[in-house]
Amino acid sequence: MRAESSSFRVSTVIPTAIEPVVTTSTGAPPFLTLGRRLSGQARMQVEKLSNRSETHLKEALSLTLDAMEAIEREVEMLHRRMVLTFRDLELVDTEMELGADGAFLPGRAPPETGLARVHLLLNVRNARELVSIEADVLSREGGCEFSFSTADPEVQDLVVAFAFEHQRRERRRALDAIAVD
């Protein structure tokens, strides 16, 4: 059984790659950033339009920015997948208990380094997100525990959103199964 976690977790199977982290003096980030997303800045400028006669313009610009944001997300996803390929890592469906504080992988031996980078492909808010999280690795009875104590708050928010969406889908399936019987 796994150690008690301090946050909500769900049992799931998601595409995952685990990379042992070898500490170096350079401390390179898990992924090089492609630059800041411009759609967010543009969205703030559109929100400043307050004239009622500009409502149609504001709606059209918002739809355009939604498309731009989706393209930016896809470019970032492609970049991250290229980095994984370059590092000879493959996303493999992995059974786990996942929450914002970490993940427990049953039957998995921990990497020898004590630190790992966990790459998760999450379906969140009708979009795919490939996230990378630095984790402390702990050996637990029956598997391996990855602690996300230093994760970026935005990444933790995505994991939380995934967990709650996953739970909602599972409850819906259970209710649908009862209704069919």
Report how far residue 36's alpha carbon sits from residue 127's, in angstroms, rounded to the nearest whole number: 19
Q: At 122, is the pLDDT very low, low, confident or very high (cuts 50, 70, 90)?
A: very high
pLDDT of the residue at 105 = 93
pTM over 0.75: no
pLDDT of the residue at 75 = 84
pLDDT of the residue at 51 = 67
Structure tokens at 64: 């355009």
138-164: pLDDT as tens digits: 888 888 999 998 888 888 888 999 999
Where do the domains of the chain lie?
Answer: 9-22+35-180
Angle between helices 38-47 and 55-86 (to 10 degrees): 170
